[in-house]
Amino acid sequence: MKRTLLTLTLAAALCLPALFAQKSAAEEPIVLTFNLGMPPIHQRWVNAIKPWCDELEKRSNGRIKIEPYFANALGKRSDAMDSVRTGIADLAEAPFSSNPGAFPFHSQIFSAANPSMALGNAYEMLSDFYKAHPEVLKKEIKGVKLMFIHAYPVGDCVMTKSAPILKLDDIKGKKLGFEGGGLRFETMQALGASVVGMNMSDLYQAMQGGIIDGIVMDFDPLISRRYGEEVKHVTLLNITGTAFYVVMNQERYDSLPDDLKAIVDDMSQNYGPNLLEKFWAENVYGSLDKWIKEMGGTVYVLSDEDYARADKLAAVPAQAWFKSLDKAGYRGAELEKTFHQLEAKYFTPWRQSEAYRYVKQQ
């Protein structure tokens, strides 16, 4: 009996390490690395992307853990999607405009909008566009799992340091700096501006030093990058907009248990887009309001006649851009037709937009 008891005791002792190892392995979370171009203090991280990550961890009961890498630590912002495709990162978020060569449609599409219109619900507009032209997604988002796309709801406007833009002719000869190129540059040139391309980080000093007269930007950097210390005038004239992607490594997604896949899918299809839509609405107008109240900024609109003339001038490079998409394998004329149909549905004339109330309070 003693021998039998000893044997059982030894057997149990030998099994214990294996049992503890199995338990430990089962409790180990699935760590997903997240490639981000922004710093950890950026409003989009603090108030939108981080809450999305936190909610994903919560819904998975801690079985998924997000490990963010900030400020291009896993690679340049322009290579963010490639970093996911090749497995350097599990997740990434970046603007399509950071790599126009890889995303000829998404990086430029909002630059084709009429200057007289606020972008409105740009995300829903894109969603309808994909229904009509699914090839757009297939061509530009390959080899990764698309989580969701988000876009800000106003557009980049003309901002000046000293003399305000009160009529369209006031733009002529103004040295306006902004990041990027392509259609947005051509639109500004068509409107008569002297375009100065530079990195976003250089715009503040360029204004401060008098190298440029102003910038073309959305409202957020007025506060987040303190551009509002130099910018004193904003004219509601849409030049471009920006869409962002959030993607996941396809193999990493496929390896998840089915219940976690379901959570990731719901977080992507519903929670993520709704969270970012709310963030953009609050952030964009919150920044504009704060700039007006704390930095003494003023907002202007143009006359109906000037808006009509701006639309006509901007249509020339926009039409040429849609035609150029044929070379990228798209049917440019069909994309142009659909875009203007959806523009009329989702975009809003400035005097009917949320931004206009900031003009009237001056």
The pTM of this model reads 0.85
CATH number, domain of 173, equals 3.40.190.170
Give the pLDDT mean for 160-178. 96
Give the pLDDT mean for 224-247. 94
Residues 81 and 181 occupy one common structural domain? no
> What is the predicted pLDDT for the residue at 7?
45
CA dist., res. 156 & res. 152, Å (int): 10
Q: Encode pLDDT of 289-313 as tens digits.
A: 999 999 999 999 999 999 999 999 9
Residues 208 and 249 occupy one common structural domain? no
Give the pLDDT mean for 218-236. 93
Q: Encode pLDDT of 269-296 as tens digits.
A: 989 999 999 999 888 899 999 999 999 9
Q: Which three-class secondary structure state does DSSP give residue 212?
A: coil
CA dist., res. 170 & res. 235, Å (int): 11
Question: Into how many domains does the chain fold?
Answer: 2
pLDDT band at 29 (very low <50, low <70, confident <90, very high): very high
Q: Is 42's pLDDT higher than 70?
A: yes
Task: Give how far Cα 36 sits from Cα of 50, 80, 150, 222, Å.
Answer: 11, 8, 15, 22
Give the pLDDT mean for 45-60. 97
Q: Is 27's pLDDT higher than 90?
A: no
Residues 231 and 346 occupy one common structural domain? yes
Residues 217 and 335 occupy one common structural domain? yes
> What is the predicted pLDDT for the residue at 253?
98
Compute the mean pLDDT over every residue in the chain, rounded to the nearest whole number: 90
Give the pLDDT mean for 100-126. 92
pLDDT band at 360 (very low <50, low <70, confident <90, very high): low
Amino acid type, 216: V
Is 249 within the bounds of a domain? yes
Give the pLDDT mean for 221-235. 93
Q: In this structure, are residues 289 and 283 in contact, taking their beta carbons and an 8 Å threshold?
A: no
**Which of the pair, 27 or 272, is modelled with greater confidence?**
272
> What is the predicted pLDDT for the residue at 11?
46
> What is the predicted pLDDT for the residue at 90?
98
Percentage with pLDDT > 70 across the chain: 92
Q: Which two tokens stand for residue 337?
A: 């037709």
Residues 322 and 275 occupy one common structural domain? no
Percentage with pLDDT > 90 across the chain: 77
Residues 198 and 76 occupy one common structural domain? no
Of 283, 311, 344, at which residue does a domain stop?
283
Residues 164 and 85 occupy one common structural domain? no
Q: Which two tokens stand for residue 324?
A: 């150029």
Q: Is 3's pLDDT higher than 80?
A: no
Is 114 within the bounds of a domain? no
Q: In this structure, are residues 113 and 241 in contact, taking their beta carbons and an 8 Å threshold?
A: yes
The dihedral built from the CA positions of residue 78, 84, 90 and 96, taken in this order, carries a sign that is positive
Q: Is 48's pLDDT higher than 90?
A: yes
pLDDT band at 198 (very low <50, low <70, confident <90, very high): confident
> What is the predicted pLDDT for the residue at 347?
93
Q: 164 lies in which domain range?
A: 156-241+294-358
Q: CA angle, corner 183, sides to 182 and 188, nearest 5?
A: 110
Long-range contacts of 160-163 (CB under 8 A, 24+ apart): 160/213, 160/214, 160/231, 160/232, 160/233, 160/235, 161/207, 161/213, 161/214, 161/230, 161/231, 161/232, 161/233, 162/213, 162/232, 163/213, 163/233
Q: In this structure, are residues 261 and 198 in contact, taking their beta carbons and an 8 Å threshold?
A: no
pLDDT band at 73 (very low <50, low <70, confident <90, very high): very high
Which of 94-98, 192-196, 246-250 bottoms out in mean pLDDT, i.e. has the lowest? 94-98
Amino acid type, 70: F
